[in-house]
Structure formats: structure tokens, C-alpha cells
Amino acid sequence: MEITIKKFEELSIYELHDILQLRSEVFVVEQDCVYQDIDGKDAKALHIIGKKDGKIIAYTRCFPPGFYFEEAAIGRVVVAMNQRKFSFGHDIMEVSKEAIKKHYHTEHIKLSAQQYLIKFYQSHGFEPIGEGYLEDGIPHIAMVTP
């Protein structure tokens, strides 16, 4: 998988389309969750894009401290269903953490994790904080890096 990091204005219309399509495939269709994915925050995000054979198969978006949370943030972590067996989620998370360090000069990151993925995020240095909560009908928990 080839990973690139782009600001919103650097995305081609085709990349933006494919990002939104992947997010919709997983978060709306696969997870059967009706929610407003296009939330007006993409224009402020740093987009981490994983491509394989020219197709976007993994993605995250990152925010500076103070925009989404007090800490820098990683969100919309997604890997295409047919690509999950290749550990691309781990690759995109590591690049996302490095991108935050380079672009936002911090290693303190917060995310809102689907609870079934706690161990995945713990493997990347995140620890749960507080109580679990429902976000768009799915159990989540806040997680941070120390």
C-alpha cells in the first residue's frame, strides 16, 4: 500500500469522491449506521490516504490540537473490508501518528474509538479514558496517547 498525506485543497475531485465512497461503504452501509458523514470538517483536516493498485483502500483524517478536541485528533479510520487481512489499518495509523507529529508538533492525540477496536488502538499506544458512550448508535470510548 502506498500512503500519501494531503491537505484538503490538494485532493483531486476523484480522490475526494473515492474517500467519501469508502467512508460511506464502511460507516453507513457495512455498519448499517445512518449519520451525516460530510460534516464540514474535511476542509480543515489532513488526509492520510492509502492506495493499492491506484484504488483508495485505507484512510484517516487528522486535526490539529484545539479543532476537534483539546488534543490533536485522528478520525474516520477506515480500511476497505476486503483489505483488512493485510494489516493496512496498522500502517495507516502509524503514518497518521507521524503526520500529526510532523505537521502539528505534538504526540498527544485523542480519538473516539468504536469499542470493539480498543485492542487495535492500544497496540498503537492509545489508552481508554472515561466511560463508554453511544455515537451514532454505536458504542464508542475516548482514547488518548500519553
- Identify the structural domains of the chain with CATH numbers, from first to last: 2-107 (3.40.630.30)
Give Cβ neighbours of residue 57 (< 8 Å, ≥ 6 apart): 1, 22, 50, 51, 79, 80, 83, 88
Task: Judge whether residue 35 has pLDDT over 90.
Answer: no
Q: What is the pLDDT of residues 74-127, one digit of tens each?
A: 999 999 999 999 999 999 999 999 999 999 999 999 999 999 999 999 999 999
Q: What is the pLDDT of residues 44-68, one digit of tens each?
A: 999 999 999 999 999 999 999 999 8
pLDDT at residue 71 in the model: 97
Give Cβ neighbours of residue 107 (< 8 Å, ≥ 6 apart): 97, 100, 101, 145
Q: What CA dihedral angle connects 20, 75, 98 and 110, to 10 degrees? A: 170
